[in-house]
Amino acid sequence: MAAGEGRAVLVTGASRGIGRAVAGAFAERGDRVAVHWGSSRERAEAVLAELPGEGHVLVRADMTDADQVGSMVDEAAGALGGLDVLVNNAGVFTARPPLETSYDQWQAAWAQTLATNLVGAANATFRAVPHLIAAGGGAVVNVSSRGAFRGEPDNPAYGASKAGLNAFAQSMALALAPHGISVTCVAPGFVQTEMAREVLDGPGGDAVRAQSPYGRVARPAEVASAVLWLASPEARFSTGTIVDVNGASYLRS
């Protein structure tokens, strides 16, 4: 990062929801953001257009494709002039209750979920590390979930992928600290996003909101605020930590 310039930040899954809010939060503080998208260029272009500041770029990759992920990280670093922060936000949630799912559906759900939520993030991190070292250090922030701790009966693959992401992040925190790189996680509960709208606007929405003593779910900006802090130099010594953003809807010891 050149003196007087903002940081170079790659946010995966930035075309909507939490990723969109995270991209906006970094841009608002003067950082240059690579907006990753996988399936909707139109949404990604809309996010890019709304970001304040200059130097932002679009990058695309199927997160289940290791070659595409590697090329995407290198492309982002090249376009931004380096890389200071990686936010692993891209993820999928496909409900496949074990007692209501065929074996073929079960296998497909596990393959897609683990490949996107866990292996995709691991591959992005691996390819980002040389760029972060070249920048003199930096941060990797992973968007996990309370589901890693409380369980996800309708989508056990999702819960397992996020638990694996937490373990991966803590392993990398130990491996990368000598290089000045922190690795952390933020673990939201339900968040008011497009993906959650069907549940939150449906008959079970009130019950979901009642899980928190605040009587609501998280706003994307609240998750983005936690990501912004974890990516800051001030949070470097908090490497390995997992920050809950669930409104006390699930408390872990």
Q: What residues are annotated to the active site?
A: 158
Alpha helices, H only, the chain: 17-28, 41-50, 66-80, 103-113, 120-134, 147-150, 156-176, 197-200, 205-209, 220-230
DSSP character at residue 238: G
Q: What is the rounded CA–CA span in Å between residue 166 and residue 69? A: 20
Q: Please answer whether residues 89 and 25 qualify as being in contact, where contact means their C-beta atoms are separated by less than 8 angstroms.
A: no
Supply the DSSP symbol for 34: E
DSSP state of 192: S
15 vs 25, 41, 56, CA distance in Å?
14, 8, 13
